[in-house]
Structure 1
Amino acid sequence: MSEKVLEKEVVGAVDNVAPTPDTGSDIDQIEWTAEEEKRLVRKVGLVVIPLLIMGFFVLQMDRGNIGNALTDFFFRDVGITQNQFNIGQNLMSLGIIPSNLVLYRVGPSLWIGCQIVAWGMVVVFQAFQKGLAAFLVTRLLLGLCESGFIPAALYTITRWYTRNETSKRFSWFFIGNMTANATSGLIAYGILHMRGVQGLAGWQWLFILEGLFTIFVGATFICFFPKSPSEPVSIFGYRYFTEREAQILTARVLRDDPTKAQKNKHMRWKEIKDALTNWKLISHLVLTVAGLAPAATLVSYGPTLVVSFGFGRLRSNALMSIGSWLQLLSNLLMGYVADKWDKRGPVAFVGVLFYMGFAIGNRLLIFSDNAGLRFAFLTLVIPFAVNWHPVNGAWMALNAQSAGERSITMALLIMGANVAAMIGSQLFQQEDGPLYPKGWAGIVALTVASFLAVSVSNWQYWWLNRREAEKGVTETKWKIAAQCQLRGLPWRAR
């Protein structure tokens, strides 16, 4: 919920002044300059974010390469039908583990890194699948191994950054996802030409080479990712920040949001209950499910749709990357604007509005003979398919009241994304192809639902903020005056 103007002006000014030494807290006593903090934030961005981006890159690459495999006779070689393929995609989305509960205990470097290595091994072994049973098992295992990565990564980001820095960093994190979408088609275009090498199909080489690269990324993550802001040391003892820098990293985040103080490695039942009973999350989760379901369909069937427009079988993989590159740029822009203006709701609203508009355009054009126009609208819907998602995630995280509640909230966000993937995997049915009029009608309905959900989210916070304002500023002024008196600072009511 947005802070009231009076609180932002006065409390913000109070928080930027170091408390008096008699507080007895090392975190309260440490001081630093704005330039020093700026350099430190830049350094965090060079140490923490790139490794998380690489993890997300290989996750999306390994999750989405099945769509590229479809253009290389995957159904025929494995011996499954399109509808059986959809069932396998559903099983992958069923894989859910209590990731952040484990993260609390073992830390991000080991937990996240081991997940990456695990799903990389599954990707390699799925190159040798044959038959429906093997296909279903490998998709389920891949979903189980991947499911904990995103909530663990999002929660980890909130531990390193302040509230007004979160949306931008979430957007940077999602660059890994979108870069994978943008490059996987180009990579697949080259690898799929290896059909026949050593007697293997092109899609088999795709899984083997990308799986081995994933294992390498996971091992790198384990070796180099720092344990925490207060203990910024790799598993082998390499220290990225000085003792003073570590103190500043911890102090700046906790002064901004004291709820991020993690005093133990166990989540309290109250935090779980608060997250699960928070009615304000309902519209966010509806937005996630309804909005991401069509995106899941486009990832799986995008290259196949381009083939149906009349483009070449392997060339379609490369053409699909155009929309993904545009998506990457729009994602960065939305994250920057959301943090710059401190307005996450309106930014998400605009993204979903364009998403709905281009989805409707695709549905209206399915019977058109103009292949170029159909490809253009398919390309234009992709930049808005998920660029609102990291902003929505940051919006949810900022409204959590404690570290544990924030962790559960991020897990709920990813569970919503998994449900969306299950729905999306069933939108395009074999009997509805190759134009998929029913599937596109479903996509339009879901984007309309996501637009209504983001509208409700914006309205509910506007209403709650207005209700708080109508209670009067007397109580707020009293709290601010008490803080100023406690810290020995002058205060004058306005």
Structure 2
Amino acid sequence: MKLPIVKSPLSFSRQAQPDSTNPAQHPETMLASLQAMAEEKRDTAMSETQLIQDEDDGLQVSWTADEERALVRRVDLLVMPLLILGFFALQLDRGNIGNAMTDFFLQDVGITQYQFNIGQQLLSAGIVLLEIPSNLLLYRIGPAVWIGSQILAWGFVATFQAFQKGLGPYLATRLLLGLCEAGFIPAGLFTITRWYKREETTTRFSWYFIGNLLAAACSGLVAYGILHLRGVCGLAGWQWLFLIEGIFTILVGILFICLFPLSAENPVSILGLRYFSEREAQILQQRVLRDDPTKAQKRKNVSWDEIKATFTNWRLLPHLFMTFLGLAPASTMGAYAPSLVVSFGFDRLKSNAMTSVGAWCLLVTNIIWGTVADRLRLRGAMVFLGLLVFWGFTLGNRLLIESTNSNLRFGILTAALAFQVTWHPVNGSWLAINARTAGERSVTMALLIMSANISGIIGSQLFQAEDAPTYRKGWTAIICLVSASLAMSILANLQYWLLNRFQNRKGEARYQY
């Protein structure tokens, strides 16, 4: 395609000299008019071709809209699948213990349900402890090496947890698994912001979480098959589950390190595979910086001022409270969904496959929420709507705890699973686009996922053995938590609306919501 020529104001002035004999045409007035015409001409041309000036080396990079779309598609096929695959492995290793419970895991290891819940709390605590340090290391080392190393680390822990026996090894394994997994999710979110513009971010955040949701959808089906290996080579079904899925994670880690590009500025893998030309790399970098100059990463470390600014940013509070209040019920249902289905009267092993129905539905609803939020640029409204729908289905589960209609109870539980976290990736994007610098964005993503894992500490204790099988107190607590989270989403929307009204009076930049 032939690029249109963008003419400077000077070249326009040479083509249309003012008539000096006409007193109506004052030279200064005519020059200003011609400059305005040139600016209008440039804007028209820029709709098809963008000109970016690189101040560092004086090079001028131009590209067409079609060329940019093609590059974004290539990024989608290179960066997103590897991040999604890593998230898939994470959720397999984090969540398969819920499937193990249906194969006499508690009895074989020799722990009680209360002790099982403590182990789940330690998993979340381990993630919370190292979330921010992990993201600081990511900022310095880069995603290819750091994220890949994390995947390998928790993959080995996940594999060898197949041989745990007794309370001590169980608790140690859950804590170690959490420590190794710490930082992966915010690292992925921050990495996405380095490759995409603001209006592209929410959709990619939702696709990133597809790795998590796809694992939840597949884990029940995979577990249904693997747990039938009980007795093979003298191992329990849950031991085979940990072994097979742990080895898979190790392979994912090796693949990630070998193939993931070092950065958008240097899109080369650690093995030397170059995915984009030098010009294409400049386009990828400059299109993001043109959209949001705060994404410029001028240092290899996050400054103390950026850390302080993030921790003193009171606007984050509604987002963080909303996260751990709203995700606590989701973590409970994720761990106990197979056991709940068994309590409805369904087969022990079949329950693992049945719970995957809601997870498969969540794949669709999650993408819908992210895409609509990006298209309409209504992230706050979509967060509120997602929590409202989830609240309605959790209320339905609470009202049906005494029902003898097994199919109805399974249907409402499935609907709740299908809408439990649609709002979470959108909330993450909402925070990311309002961060003021790259360093603040990195720490903010870490704080968001810390809040998500604090929810795991809360959620792991909502269902207690003495409250089984109806879990009356547990479901009541879930309703209260989701209601509070819904209130926080209203507060988050309200604060940005009020702040924007104030910013408009001062003529300052507006917050996006």
Say yes or no: does 1:285 pair with 2:320.
yes
Tell me which of 119, 123, 139 is aligned to 1:104.
139
Quote the residue 2:83 is aligned against.
52
Distance in 2, Cα, partners of 1:365 & 1:354 = 17
Distance in 2, Cα, partners of 1:338 & 1:279 = 24
Identical-pair percentage: 62
Unmatched segments (≥5 aa) in structure 2? 1-39
SS for the counterpart of 1:30 is: strand
Give the C-alpha shift of residue 274 in structure 1: 1.1
Contact 1:18 1:29 (8 Å CA) reproduced: no
Distance in 1, Cα, partners of 2:214 & 2:107 = 29
Contact 2:138 2:187 (8 Å CA) reproduced: yes
Say yes or no: does 1:241 pair with 2:276.
yes
Quote the residue 1:321 is aligned against.
356
Tell me which of 126, 138, 146 is aligned to 2:181.
146
Distance in 1, Cα, partners of 2:305 & 2:421 = 32
Quote the residue 2:259 is aligned against.
224
Please tell me the residue identity of whatever aligns with 1:99.
Answer: S
Matches within 5 A, 1:141-220: 141-220=176-255
Cα distance change of structure 1 residues 55 and 171 upon mapping to structure 2, 3 Å threshold: same
Please tell me the residue identity of whatever aligns with 1:394.
Answer: S
Give the C-alpha shift of residue 434 in structure 1: 1.1
SS for the counterpart of 1:234 is: coil
Contact 1:27 1:247 (8 Å CA) reproduced: no
Task: Tell which deviates more after alignment, 213-222 or 94-103.
Answer: 94-103
Please tell me the residue identity of whatever aligns with 2:472.
Answer: P
Contact 1:67 1:303 (8 Å CA) reproduced: yes
Say yes or no: does 1:364 pair with 2:399.
yes
Distance in 2, Cα, partners of 1:258 & 1:227 = 21
Give the C-alpha shift of residue 470 in structure 1: 3.4
Say yes or no: does 1:253 pair with 2:284.
no
Quote the residue 1:91 is aligned against.
122
Give the C-alpha shift of residue 459 in structure 1: 0.8
Contact 1:28 1:251 (8 Å CA) reproduced: no
Tell me which of 58, 71, 75 is aligned to 2:106.
75
Q: Which has the higher contact order (CA 8 A, sep 6+)?
A: 1
Matches within 5 A, 1:347-386: 347-386=382-421
Give the C-alpha shift of residue 20 in structure 1: 8.6
Matches within 5 A, 1:429-444: 429-444=464-479
Distance in 2, Cα, partners of 1:24 & 1:177 = 41
Quote the residue 1:428 is aligned against.
463
Distance in 1, Cα, partners of 2:450 & 2:318 = 14
Distance in 2, Cα, partners of 1:18 & 1:426 = 55
Quote the residue 1:123 is aligned against.
158
SS for the counterpart of 2:298 is: coil
Please tell me the residue identity of whatever aligns with 1:69.
Answer: A
Unmatched segments (≥5 aa) in structure 1? 1-9, 477-494
Distance in 1, Cα, partners of 2:388 & 2:140 = 41
Structure showing greater Rg: 2
Distance in 1, Cα, partners of 2:153 & 2:415 = 35
Distance in 2, Cα, partners of 1:177 & 1:243 = 34
TM-score (norm 2): 0.88
Q: Deviations over 1:304-349 (max 9, x none)?
A: 0000000000000000000001101000000100111111000111
Please tell me the residue identity of whatever aligns with 1:61.
Answer: L
Quote the residue 2:302 is aligned against.
267
Please tell me the residue identity of whatever aligns with 1:106.
Answer: I
Please tell me the residue identity of whatever aligns with 2:79.
Answer: V
Give the C-alpha shift of residue 385 in structure 1: 0.8
Distance in 1, Cα, partners of 2:350 & 2:476 = 27
Contact 2:51 2:61 (8 Å CA) reproduced: no
Distance in 1, Cα, partners of 2:455 & 2:296 = 32
